[in-house]
């Protein structure tokens, strides 16, 4: 199946695994990517930038297909910048961001 999305991301099927906080680790991301979709690791569910680097390398060891890292901006009560730097340094093919709604009273 070829669509604009599959061409852009280099995937077989137009399926993108969601961020899935506390569920989307290397095993799931690699399985989805290996099956032809775009698997993703959820960065902010991990405890450190070093742990993200290990998860990225685990995906790379399991598949040569594209995968992504998802960042939940404003979630988990901590900064995402160091994690983002790791994803860029490790040349992750796709980076996605999700956001939070801030309510100011």
Q: Write out pLDDT tens, residues 59-80.
A: 999 999 999 999 987 766 778 8
Count of structural domains, the chain: 1
**21 within some domain:** yes
**81 within some domain:** yes
Return the closest-CA partner of residue 58 out of 81, 34, 75, 82: 34
> Would you state the pLDDT for residue 100?
59
**9 within some domain:** no
User: Which residues on neighbouring strands pair with residue 104, listed in sequence order?
Assistant: none
**103 within some domain:** no
Least confident of 25-34, 48-57, 69-78, 80-89: 69-78
- Give me the domain span that covers residue 59: 16-98
Is the pLDDT at 38 greater than 90? The verdict is yes
> Would you state the pLDDT for residue 75?
61
Is the pLDDT at 104 greater than 70? The verdict is no
CA distances from 33 to 7, 36, 65, 67, 105 (A): 14, 5, 6, 6, 42
Tokens 């730097």 belong to: 85
The 10 Å Cβ neighbour count of residue 53 is: 16
Q: With a threshold of 0.85, does the pTM exceed it?
A: yes
Q: Each residue of 83-103: pLDDT tens digit?
A: 999 999 999 999 998 875 555
Phi, psi of 48 (to 5 degrees): -160, 165
**86 within some domain:** yes
**53 within some domain:** yes
């Amino acid at each position: 199946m070829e669509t604009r999305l599959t061409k852009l991301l280099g995937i077989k099927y137009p399926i993108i695994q969601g961020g899935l906080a506390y569920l989307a680790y290397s095993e799931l991301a690699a399985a989805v990517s290996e099956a032809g979709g775009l698997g993703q690791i959820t960065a902010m569910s991990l405890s450190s930038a070093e742990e993200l680097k290990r998860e990225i390398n685990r995906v790379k060891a399991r598949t040569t297909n594209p995968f992504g890292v998802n960042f939940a901006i404003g979630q988990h009560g901590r900064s995402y910048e160091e994690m983002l730097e790791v994803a860029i340094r490790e040349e992750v093919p796709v980076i996605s961001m999700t956001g939070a709604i801030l309510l100011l009273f």
